[in-house]
Amino acid sequence: MSFNKQELTQTTTFADQKRKTVEIAEFTEDGRYKRKIRSFVLRTGRLSEFQKNAMNQHWHFYGLEHQIQPFNFQTIYGNDNPVILEIGFGMGHSLVEMAHQNPHFNYLGIEVHTPGVGACIANAVEKEVKNLRVICHDATEILRDCIPDNSLTGLQLFFPDPWHKAKHHKRRIVQTPFVAKISQKLVQGGFIHMATDWENYAEHMLDILRQANELENTSITNDYIPRPESRPLTKFEQRGHRLGHGVWDLYFTKK
């Protein structure tokens, strides 16, 4: 069976279009492609009908778009509760659980992979979570353009891509400019909570965070902390424990 162009356009839903526009090519003034170093690979995993329907039906409430001006969180959430940002929430299970358990906080999640965004929204709808919003866009651009300075109570970064090969370490999201930008967005006393199951990346995170003079390590041993109860144990992490993998949590606050 064949479809003409008009029929294909009519069957393209919001979720389908969002999946195609997460990565937008940028060009210099003379028309050359501007290549960026990304901290993620834009995978083309298939959106299930369940995930697609969740995005199509509920994006108007849960979804936020990239914009060239700071968000007004009071307008977005309808209250003045503290805002916690999570970057790279995967399928969103732990993020939704945290939002469900802590209605006195507002949660904002960023994820570039649309199947995860769809799954997160579906889970939030099922649990009737109202204090959560999600963005499907590059986190560095959201931080640069949309997050007001001194507006976040916390930043969560759990199990980011470790880019374990030395030649790929430059792609790790945790770098000095990233931590400086996050610190700029945090309120005084705000936190940065990171976790990884790659020891080399944990050491890298610790080194970068220690270099930030405006941050203070809460670890009594000046390195890592035990997993706090506030961070739900994910299926991924449970599997790692069974296989004997370590997990390193880091928790710094802004002075």
The residues annotated as belonging to the active site are 161
Q: Are 134 and 118 in contact (CB under 8 A)?
A: no
Q: Which residue blocks in 150-254 are alpha helix, DSSP H?
A: 176-185, 199-210, 235-242
Residues forming the annotated binding site for substrate?
165, 197, 234-237
Tokens of 65: 């778009």
Is residue 244 classed exposed, middle or buried when 0-12, 13-18 and 19+ CB atoms within 10 A define those classes?
exposed
Q: Are 104 and 153 in contact (CB under 8 A)?
A: no
Beta strands in 68-126 (DSSP E): 83-87, 106-110
d(CA 82, CA 188): 12
Residues forming the annotated binding site for S-adenosyl-L-methionine?
86, 111, 138, 161
Residues forming the annotated binding site?
86, 111, 138, 161, 165, 197, 234-237
Tokens of 107: 């949660």
Q: Are 83 and 108 in contact (CB under 8 A)?
A: yes
